[in-house]
């Protein structure tokens, strides 16, 4: 059943400014644990405005706890929202992505990777180029990957009731030290609006996405 709200996407974004919640996730086990904790406990959220995107992003990240969880020599995967190549706010603002990559590099990691998989009937790299994600990633000197042709790993968390036999996630998610989720606030016909949790749908294989949507 859908929900009707009167607040438009544009008005909601104007009201909230730039909001970033930070978390460090190591492999798939902590990813599942972190998702459970997020539903049960309070998490830090930073909301900031600024004369520039960089200033606003920096302040929001600082208020949410900063990037100190990243240690020197680690590998960080940044997960933007590129379900389609439509411009922000349909996709992650490439300016925001650029500023977050810069903040991650300040912690002296070994690798910074930007990766996603778009709506599975489209080519992710084409959509990344259309949204400006590829340009922002290259200018910030990070690696750009898509999950389209990568290996997928079967996981079966205890509470994944909608996938009794488990589901597949992009294997790279289980191989990095941290995953930074960079969603956008979108209206949604089921959830009113979506942010971090919905953005992680992009790490799930297309076949498993179809299985889940058929259960709705």
**Domain of residue 97, CATH code:** 3.40.50.11440
Per the domain annotation, does 9 fall within a domain? no
Whether the full predicted model's pTM is greater than 0.75, yes or no, is yes
Residue 26 pLDDT greater than 70, yes or no: no
Domain residues for the domain of 154 are: 23-39+71-214
Question: Can you give the pLDDT at residue 172?
Answer: 95
Residue 162: pLDDT band (50, 70, 90) is confident
Q: Which residues contact 19 (CB under 8 A, 6 or more apart)?
A: 45, 46, 47, 60, 185
pLDDT: is 53 or 30 the higher one?
53
The tally of domains found in the chain comes to: 1
Q: Please enumerate in sequence order all residues whose Cβ is within 8 A of that of 62, keeping only pairs 6 or more positions apart, or say none.
A: 46
Band of residue 121 on the pLDDT scale cut at 50, 70, 90: confident
Kindly state whether residue 7 falls inside one of the protein's structural domains: no
Question: Has residue 52 been placed in a domain?
Answer: no
Q: How many CA atoms lie within 13 A of 171 on its CB side?
A: 6
């Amino acid at each position: 059943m859908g929900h009707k709200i009167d607040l438009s996407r544009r008005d909601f974004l104007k009201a909230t400014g730039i909001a970033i919640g930070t978390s460090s996730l190591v492999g798939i086990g902590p990813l599942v644990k972190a998702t459970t904790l997020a539903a049960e406990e309070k998490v830090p959220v930073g909301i900031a405005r600024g004369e520039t995107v960089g200033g606003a992003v920096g302040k929001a990240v600082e208020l949410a706890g900063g990037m100190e969880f990243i240690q020197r020599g680690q590998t960080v995967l940044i997960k933007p929202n590129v379900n389609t190549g439509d411009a922000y706010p349909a996709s992650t603002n490439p300016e925001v992505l650029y500023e977050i990559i810069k903040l991650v590099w300040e912690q002296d990691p070994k690798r910074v990777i930007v990766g996603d998989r778009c709506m599975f009937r489209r080519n992710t790299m084409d959509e990344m180029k259309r949204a400006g994600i590829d340009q922002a990633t290259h200018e910030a000197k990070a690696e750009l990957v898509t999950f389209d042709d990568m290996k997928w790993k079967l996981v079966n968390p205890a509470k994944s009731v909608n996938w009794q036999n488990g589901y597949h996630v992009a294997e790279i998610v289980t191989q990095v030290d941290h995953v930074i989720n960079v969603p956008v606030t979108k209206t949604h016909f089921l959830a009113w609006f979506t942010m971090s949790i919905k953005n992680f749908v992009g790490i799930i294989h297309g076949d498993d996405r179809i299985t889940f949507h058929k259960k709705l």
